[in-house]
Structure 1
Amino acid sequence: MRKLLRLLTSCSLVLGLFLQIASAATRLEARIVDDASGAPLAARIAVTDVHGKFLEIDGKHEHVQQLNKRWCYVDGSFALPIPDSGVTVNIRRGLETRPLSETLPGQAIDKSITKTFRLRRWTDLRAKAYMSGDLHAHLPALANAPLQMRAEDLHALNLLILGGLPLPNDNSFKGKVDEHSGPDCQIYLGQEVIDWHLGHLTMTGLKSLVPGYPAPGGTLEYWTSNPHLDIMRAARATREQNALVSWAHFENLPGAESPVAVALGLLDAIELPTWSDPMQLPAHLSPWDTSGMATAEFTPMRGVDLYYQYLNAGFRLPLAAGTDKSGEDIPLGSNRVYVPTKGKVNYAAWVAGIKAGTGFVTNGPILEFDVEGHAPGEVVEFGGRKQIKARVSARSILPFTTLEIIMNGRPVAHKLILVQNQSPVDGIYSMQVDATISLDKSSWLAARALSNPDITPRLMARESSVFSHTSPVYFLEAGHKVREEASIVYLRKYVRGLLHWLATKPAFSREEDRDAVQRDAEQTLRFYEGL
Structure 2
Amino acid sequence: MSNILRISLFILFAGSPTMLGYAATPDGQLQINIIDPATQTPLPVRIELTNTRGRTVRLGKSAAGALGNHFYLTGQGVLGLKRGDYLFTLDAGPEYKTQRGDFKIERHADDSKVVEMHRFTDLEKEGWYAGDFDSVRNAKDLPLMAQVEALHFVPSVAWTYDGKKWSESPRNIMLPVDEVDPQAAGRKLGAYAARVEQPGGTLLLFADEPMVEKPFEVEAGWSTEKILLAAVEADLHVVAASPVEWELPVWIATDELSTVALLTRNDYGDYRQGSDKGTRPRDTSFYPGKQGQAQWEQAVYFHLLNCGLQVTPVAGSGSGANEMPLGSNRTYVYHANAFSPEAWWRGVEQGATVVTNGPLLRPQVGGQPPGTTFSLGNGGQVDYQVGLNLASRDARVEYLEVIKNGETFAEVRLSDWVAKKGQLPPVSFDSSGWFAVRAATTEEQKYQYALNSPYYVESTEGPRVSRESVEFFLAWLDELAELPADERSASEAEIAKAREFWQQLLSEANAP
TM-score, structure 1 normalization: 0.75
1:305 aligned onto 2:292: no
1:322 aligned onto 2:316: yes
Deviations 1:382-428 (A, max 9, x none): 131222333445321111433211010001111357xxxx9xx9xxx
1:47 aligned onto 2:49: yes
Q: Which runs of 5+ in 1 are unaligned?
A: 1-20, 215-226, 290-299, 459-463
Deviations 1:23-65 (A, max 9, x none): x855421122222222322211123344444444597113234
Correspondence 1:45-124 to 2 at 5 A: 45-56=47-58, 60-61=62-63, 62-65=65-68, 70-80=69-79, 86-104=85-103, 111-124=109-122
* 2:432 aligned partner: 442
Tell me: CA distance 1:98–1:154, structure 2 relative to 1, closer, same or farther (3 Å): same
1-structure distance, mates of 2:56, 2:276: 32
Which amino acid is the alignment partner of residue 72 of structure 2?
Y
* 1:475 aligned partner: 457
Q: State the 1:94 CA deviation.
A: 1.4
Q: State the 1:344 CA deviation.
A: 2.9
* 2:505 aligned partner: 528
1-structure distance, mates of 2:173, 2:50: 38
* 2:338 aligned partner: 344
* 2:11 aligned partner: none
Deviations 1:353-372 (A, max 9, x none): 12211120111101122334
Tell me: CA distance 1:105–1:324, structure 2 relative to 1, closer, same or farther (3 Å): closer
Q: 1:369 aligns with which of 349, 356, 363?
A: 363
Tell me: CA distance 1:147–1:140, structure 2 relative to 1, closer, same or farther (3 Å): same
C-alpha contact 1:404 1:433 (8 A) present in aligned 2: no
C-alpha contact 2:199 2:278 (8 A) present in aligned 1: no
C-alpha contact 2:315 2:330 (8 A) present in aligned 1: yes
Tell me: CA distance 1:25–1:212, structure 2 relative to 1, closer, same or farther (3 Å): closer
C-alpha contact 1:363 1:466 (8 A) present in aligned 2: yes
Tell me: CA distance 1:516–1:171, structure 2 relative to 1, closer, same or farther (3 Å): farther
Which amino acid is the alignment partner of residue 370 of structure 2?
P
1:397 aligned onto 2:393: yes
Tell me: CA distance 1:312–1:518, structure 2 relative to 1, closer, same or farther (3 Å): closer
Tell me: CA distance 1:341–1:203, structure 2 relative to 1, closer, same or farther (3 Å): same
C-alpha contact 1:499 1:521 (8 A) present in aligned 2: no
Tell me: CA distance 1:507–1:170, structure 2 relative to 1, closer, same or farther (3 Å): farther
SS of 1:353's equivalent in the other structure is helix
Tell me: CA distance 1:211–1:105, structure 2 relative to 1, closer, same or farther (3 Å): closer
1:38 aligned onto 2:40: yes
Which amino acid is the alignment partner of residue 267 of structure 2?
D
1-structure distance, mates of 2:400, 2:268: 15
Which amino acid is the alignment partner of residue 232 of structure 1?
E
Q: State the 1:506 CA deviation.
A: 5.0
2-structure distance, mates of 1:260, 1:58: 46
RMSD between superposed Cα atoms in Å: 3.5
2-structure distance, mates of 1:376, 1:517: 33
2-structure distance, mates of 1:172, 1:285: 27
Q: 2:374 aligns with which of 377, 380, 399?
A: 380
1:354 aligned onto 2:348: yes
Deviations 1:146-201 (A, max 9, x none): 22222222111111121355632598398xx865472243214211111232x211
1:129 aligned onto 2:127: yes
C-alpha contact 1:308 1:409 (8 A) present in aligned 2: yes
Deviations 1:60-106 (A, max 9, x none): 113234xxxx2221222242356776533321121111111233456
Q: State the 1:266 CA deviation.
A: 1.3
Correspondence 1:83-482 to 2 at 5 A: 86-104=85-103, 111-137=109-135, 139-160=136-157, 161-164=159-162, 167-169=169-171, 172=174, 179-180=179-180, 182-188=184-190, 189-197=192-200, 199-205=201-207, 209-213=214-218, 229-250=222-243, 254-277=244-267, 287=280, 302-327=296-321, 329-383=323-377, 384=379, 385-399=381-395, 400-415=397-412, 434-451=424-441, 456-458=443-445, 464-478=446-460, 480-482=462-464
2-structure distance, mates of 1:507, 1:306: 21
Tell me: CA distance 1:469–1:163, structure 2 relative to 1, closer, same or farther (3 Å): same
Tell me: CA distance 1:268–1:525, structure 2 relative to 1, closer, same or farther (3 Å): closer
2-structure distance, mates of 1:145, 1:104: 29
Deviations 1:98-121 (A, max 9, x none): 11123345668x523333222221
* 1:496 aligned partner: 478
Tell me: CA distance 1:288–1:58, structure 2 relative to 1, closer, same or farther (3 Å): closer
Tell me: CA distance 1:210–1:73, structure 2 relative to 1, closer, same or farther (3 Å): same
Tell me: CA distance 1:102–1:505, structure 2 relative to 1, closer, same or farther (3 Å): closer
C-alpha contact 1:274 1:323 (8 A) present in aligned 2: yes
Which amino acid is the alignment partner of residue 205 of structure 2?
M
1-structure distance, mates of 2:60, 2:208: 40
C-alpha contact 1:444 1:474 (8 A) present in aligned 2: yes
SS of 1:398's equivalent in the other structure is coil
Aligned residues: 450
Q: Which runs of 5+ in 2 are unaligned?
A: 1-22, 270-274, 283-292
Tell me: CA distance 1:325–1:145, structure 2 relative to 1, closer, same or farther (3 Å): same
C-alpha contact 1:210 1:237 (8 A) present in aligned 2: no
